[in-house]
Structure 1
Amino acid sequence: MSYIKRNLENVINQVTNEYPVVLVTGSRQVGKTTMLQKLMEGTKRGYVTLDDLNERALAKSDPELFLQLHKPPVLIDEVQYAPELFAYIKMNVDKNHKPGAFWLTGSQIFKLMRGVQESLAGRVAVLSLTSLSQAEIAGAEMEPFTIEMEMLAARKAGRTEMDTRGVFERIYKGSMPAIVSGVNSNSQIFYSSYLSTYIERDVKELSDAIDSLKFLRFITAVAARCGQMVNVAEIARDADINQTQAKDWLGILETLGIIFYLRPYSNNLLKRLVKTPKLYFYDTGLVCYLTKWSSAETLESGAMNGAILENYVVAEIRKTYLNCGKDPYMYYYRDKDAKEIDVVLEHDGILNPIEIKKTSNPGTELTKVFGLLDKASTPRSKGAVVCMKPALGAIDRDNYIVPVWMI
């Protein structure tokens, strides 16, 4: 299997020289360990995984001895299994003051972050790794996605141009490294195994009272509502659980890095806005498996094609920020009159509105809603329609046409 270079490598190399602890979080199978072991080649850094039950037991029962056996510089994999280590890592760091002493990975983000905040505040660089982005698959360098013509034109370099069918093939197969690299050629078999082997096991780590069949019904109900405002009552009804369970289980999916939320944009000058977040999956291959699409062709012409395309684009934009070690300030706009803007990017004191459509011929009618942001205290700048048109273009001077493959 050929290694696919990750954009986050550049950030890891930078922060390793600045922070004593580097923590890489992300869901299972996105390539955290593979990437860090690649960066370790030719160095004296050791490696230990807490998936090994013997190592985990020692880390929990005698963390001081564990760190004597695994001296820094060291990579500790799946560190969330032994939060007892954090206090001893802190003592080691405070005593020795060596940048890059500890590389940590973890797949349970909230639980992990809580331990880090309590013990390693100011000593740790926290980075997020997602499944592969379009740019990484194409072997291109990545910058955070912004609506500036010079930056958009530069994005074409190294990208792989895709038609509508190619985009839906990518959406259907997903972007997990094992699928993209060809190690697993059948995405449906991969995601079936992924659910039973990883998600189910990690879910039970967080809550051992969860029934596996009910959780499968639950995550399927969530996938059927990707790109929609969260409706806990409907999800609970479909999964045959109560609303408290549904809220708790949504928290678990977010903790495991399976889903994320887009919060509604608001400020005190914009009235009558909704307050409910929209829900997205990091990987659309998992969505397609759970919602039982049999092929990219049936997905492309199916009832969910718009929602899953929107999920894909929102996730790809988010990845361009996370893979550069930056927080994405992404929102959506919706008011009580149901007028909506799919994505609002906020950066450098401006707002960029974005519409996502499965069309190859977008017109001015798609950008009229952008004016809803003119009453906001933050000024509106250029807008864009992300769509299936094959080439970068413009609707007018203020609104660009961006092909999906260029994100």
Structure 2
Amino acid sequence: MFSRVIEEEFLEQLSDNPAVALLGPRQVGKTTLIKSFLDQFGKPSIYLDLESNADLIRLQDAELYLDERRESIIILDEIQRMPSLFPLMRSLIDRNRVPGRFILLGSASPDLLKNSSETLAGRIAFLELHPLLLEEVKNEISYAVHWLRGGYPAMLQAATDRSSARKMADFISSYIERDLPLLGIPGNPVNVRLLVNMLVSVHGGLLNVSQLANSLKMSVPTIQTYLDYLENAFLIRRLLPWHVNVSKRLVKTPKIYIRDSGMLHSLAGITGMEDLTGNIIVGSSWEGYVIQQVIAALPFNVKPYFYRTQDGAELDLVLVKGNNVKLAIEIKYTNSPTLSRGNSVAQQDLGNPLLLIVTPSAEDFRLKENIQVCSISTFSNYLKEAL
């Protein structure tokens, strides 16, 4: 098992909150991570899988069962399957408010788990477990393999690239046909699959919902609903534009990304590095891959955006703390990067913050006084220093 960067924060939140929810897509390693902590909790723990009939039977009288075990940490896996537990957990916590009463594991975001965010307000901390990051695996796995296969453990550690691609294809089918309907997504899974396939062609571009609706012969509200569910299931990301500079004519449309690079490649029919480097999506794939690595490593109080004006000034990522731009990032799929005039103008618009140019494997060097070139393997050093 790989060490996860979230481990320290999880244990910290558990020592300070009655409930901690660890959320993320299926098969990302949530259950494995929690089970690795059992010896560190300092008190007994009980693991309940809400997809197990045996465990559901134990919860037929959930209040009695959970109250009798108030001295144990209760781990509830796939919590989105039983939202009726949220009001009960609030009541139990209020009767005996101590840290670490409940650990909730789920495959849906807080927005989709509205019962938890509303019912347990002030009693719960939310953390997201992302697919394995390069920072977590780089001592054993190269960036190229990680980029190609993505961060889902089973796919990343498959015996061959072909096996990895097959596992991902099966995973996507299962998610669309089984998991999304369980989360409440309306409509036919065939239509959802058509949309997901279409997202490959717009990955890294500005989101045009009307264009997607026209192409798929669906209504705009239907496409918007599907996108909301895909985002709340941690499969896609809508990256918002930074538009604090009101004197500029700014793009205000979000950009859209398929979060996991391995999922993107599977949907695009890419099964090896030769396929990837020769594919038309290689540049947008690299951009999305780096963005995922950066965003997954951000502290909770730093928000990511992109910057683009109608006049062509643009930067791939702008990291904002409070209302201040702390770091700008431009992503280049080359080890001999140059900046466009639009990149330079954007940096000036933002007040000349440090601009990090992230490449596949270039040696780190200063391009100019406030422009640093680095590799995907070393960007985290500059991220920590700037934030």
TM-score normalized by structure 2? Answer: 0.89
Establish whether residue 330 from structure 1 lines up as the match of residue 304 from structure 2: yes
Cα deviation digits, residues 24-73 of structure 1 (max 9, x gap): 111111111110111113651110011124544775x6442452466531
- Secondary structure at the residue paired with 1:332? strand
C-alpha distance in 1 between matches for 2:344 and 2:80: 43
Establish whether residue 395 from structure 1 lines up as the match of residue 367 from structure 2: yes
Cα deviation digits, residues 231-269 of structure 1 (max 9, x gap): 112322343422221111001101111111211011153
- Secondary structure at the residue paired with 1:4? coil
Q: Is the 8 A contact 1:351 1:380 kept in 2?
A: no
Aligned residue runs from structure 1 range 79-118, under 5 A: 79-110=79-110, 112-118=112-118
Which sits farther off after the overlay, 175-184 or 5-14?
175-184
C-alpha distance in 1 between matches for 2:14 and 2:241: 35
Aligned residue runs from structure 1 range 115-194, under 5 A: 115-138=115-138, 167=144, 169-182=145-158, 186-194=163-171
C-alpha distance in 2 between matches for 1:218 and 1:75: 35
Deviation at 1:327, TM superposition (A): 4.5
C-alpha distance in 2 between matches for 1:171 and 1:375: 32
Q: Is the 8 A contact 1:361 1:389 kept in 2?
A: no
C-alpha distance in 2 between matches for 1:44 and 1:342: 47
Which sits farther off after the overlay, 308-317 or 78-87?
78-87
Aligned to 1:19: 17
TM-score normalized by structure 1? Answer: 0.85
Q: Is the 8 A contact 1:393 1:402 kept in 2?
A: yes
Q: Is the 8 A contact 2:80 2:113 kept in 1?
A: no
- Secondary structure at the residue paired with 1:97? coil
Q: Is the 8 A contact 1:106 1:112 kept in 2?
A: no
Q: Match for 1:226 among 203, 206, 218?
A: 203
Establish whether residue 258 from structure 1 lines up as the match of residue 238 from structure 2: no
* Aligned-partner residue type, residue 21 of structure 1: A
| Alpha-carbon spacing, 1:70–1:33, altered in 2? closer, same or farther (3 Å) | farther
Cα deviation digits, residues 186-214 of structure 1 (max 9, x gap): 11111122122234212112346422222
Establish whether residue 244 from structure 1 lines up as the match of residue 221 from structure 2: yes
Name the % identity: 26
Q: Match for 1:205 among 182, 185, 199?
A: 182
How big is the alpha-carbon RMSD for the aligned residues of Structure 1 and Structure 2?
Answer: 2.4
- Secondary structure at the residue paired with 1:274? coil
* Aligned-partner residue type, residue 2 of structure 2: I
Aligned to 1:45: 45
Aligned to 2:320: 346
Deviation at 1:184, TM superposition (A): 8.1
| Alpha-carbon spacing, 1:233–1:66, altered in 2? closer, same or farther (3 Å) | farther
Q: Is the 8 A contact 2:231 2:237 kept in 1?
A: yes
Q: Match for 2:343 among 356, 363, 369?
A: 369
C-alpha distance in 2 between matches for 1:274 and 1:58: 53
C-alpha distance in 2 between matches for 1:373 and 1:4: 37
Establish whether residue 380 from structure 1 lines up as the match of residue 352 from structure 2: yes
Structure 2 stretches lacking a partner, 5+ long: 380-387
C-alpha distance in 2 between matches for 1:34 and 1:249: 30
Aligned residue runs from structure 1 range 248-287, under 5 A: 248-287=225-264
Aligned residue runs from structure 1 range 58-69, under 5 A: 59=59, 62-68=61-67
Structure 1 stretches lacking a partner, 5+ long: 140-158
C-alpha distance in 1 between matches for 2:310 and 2:34: 47
C-alpha distance in 1 between matches for 2:264 and 2:93: 41
| Alpha-carbon spacing, 1:405–1:123, altered in 2? closer, same or farther (3 Å) | same
| Alpha-carbon spacing, 1:209–1:262, altered in 2? closer, same or farther (3 Å) | closer
